A and B are shown apart, each in its own frame.
Chain A
Amino acid sequence: MTVTWDSISEGQAITELKKNCSTQQLVQWAAGSGDFYQIHYDKDFAVGTGLSNIIVHGALKNAFLGQLVHDWMGPNGRIKKYGCSYRGMDYPNQDITCKGIVRRKYEEGGEKLVDLEIWSENPEGNKTTPGTATVAFSK
């Protein structure tokens, strides 16, 4: 069902997005983003820098949160602003669950706006990338 401004209420949870990165996906992301830093696909290199394993790119988790918002808002929404903090590392072959809650619904400057709290969770339930987003709705 397509989300419309009228259907949104404060406190509402948005549809979750579940991710679990294979190393293949991390290689695809390296090519897609242009970030070829080896800690994201070469385990020997990652361990050599003191990490326990390959780590998921922070910017990829940021892009996951972008997809979370994009898929939820549908064609009536446009992202005005979004971002996150990088608080913890995530690893390949582990669930990264992206979630969000509608924190505020308001009109400003003639626009119908929604502020979301968004984040990704690791398998222990820790928020490794907490963030926020503002979406404008056309209807």
Chain B
Amino acid sequence: MADEESLITDEMRATIGVRSEPTICEVDKLQIRLFARSVGHVDPIFYDEAEAKKAGYRSLPCPPGYLGTPVYDPRYSDPTFGGRRGGARAPEPRRPLKRILNGGTEIEYFDSICAGDVLESTSYVSEIVERKGSIGDMLITTSKNEYKRKSDGKVVAVMTGTGIRY
């Protein structure tokens, strides 16, 4: 039955592991304070540089979940989400899927990230899985976003995101 064919096309499989163009994410004090304030953090290390240094950081550290802000430029950036707009569209699955959900996020840290750091973020799809559930066809795409610090070339964090289409 044609319907039982895999949702995942060869074209989709070919995208696995292909890295995006890098995006520059700057980490600065203003944005760290704004992020920390919006979460409701109360630890002064996110606001007061002297406290951050006393705690062993080079400057204000990134609060958990914050990995810098993509540099905004109206020529290239998406006005709603701030990241690079357009770019190559991911190939469509064999049967159309209408809905999309953000399934989850995980960040692994390899060093502390502080104000003044400039990160180069590169993303790629690491896995595409399909499932047949009570809601019908489901496509689960895992993507990785690697954050490399420009000053020393060190990968300081990897974010794994899960997208669900159904």
Residues in chain B near residue A63, CB distance under 8 A: 35, 39, 63-66
Q: How large is the interface on A (under 10, 10 to 19, 20 to 34, 35 or more residues)?
A: 35 or more
Contact flags A98-134 to B (C-beta < 8 A → 1, else 0)? 0000000000000000000000000000000001000
Complex CA gap A29/B66 in Å reads 11
B18 interfacial contact with A, CB 8 Å? no
Contact flags B7-39 to A (C-beta < 8 A → 1, else 0)? 000000000000000000000000100111111
Q: Is the CB of A32 within 8 A of B38?
A: yes
A75 interfacial contact with B, CB 8 Å? yes
- Number of A-B residue pairs, CB cutoff 8 Å, is 99
B138 interfacial contact with A, CB 8 Å? no
Complex CA gap A63/B70 in Å reads 18
Residues in chain B near residue A80, CB distance under 8 A: 108-109
Contact flags A65-100 to B (C-beta < 8 A → 1, else 0)? 111011100010011111111100000000000000
Q: Is the CB of A66 within 8 A of B63?
A: yes
Q: Is the CB of A67 within 8 A of B39?
A: yes
Q: Is the interface of A mostly helix, strand, loop or mixed?
A: helix
Q: How large is the interface on B (under 10, 10 to 19, 20 to 34, 35 or more residues)?
A: 35 or more
Contact flags B109-127 to A (C-beta < 8 A → 1, else 0)? 1001000000000000000
Complex CA gap A22/B42 in Å reads 17
Complex CA gap A29/B72 in Å reads 17
Which residues of A in the span 33-89 have a Cβ within 8 Å of any Cβ on B?
33-38, 58-60, 62-67, 69-71, 75, 78-86
Q: Which of B102, B106, B160, B162 has the largest count of A CB atoms less than 10 A from its CB?
A: B106
B40 interfacial contact with A, CB 8 Å? yes
Q: Which of B38, B40, B112 has the largest count of A CB atoms less than 10 A from its CB?
A: B38
A1 interfacial contact with B, CB 8 Å? no
Q: A34-B81, A37-B80, A59-B65 are in contact. Are A25 and B40 (CB under 8 A)?
A: yes
A12 interfacial contact with B, CB 8 Å? no
B103 interfacial contact with A, CB 8 Å? yes
Q: Is the CB of B101 within 8 A of A70?
A: no
Among candidates B39, B43, B107, B162, residue contacting A64 with C-beta atoms closer than 8 Å? B39
Residues in chain B near residue A59, CB distance under 8 A: 65, 105
Q: A28-B34, A63-B65 are in contact. Are A86 and B43 (CB under 8 A)?
A: no
Q: Is the CB of B43 within 8 A of A71?
A: yes
Q: Is the CB of B35 within 8 A of A33?
A: yes
Complex CA gap A83/B103 in Å reads 11
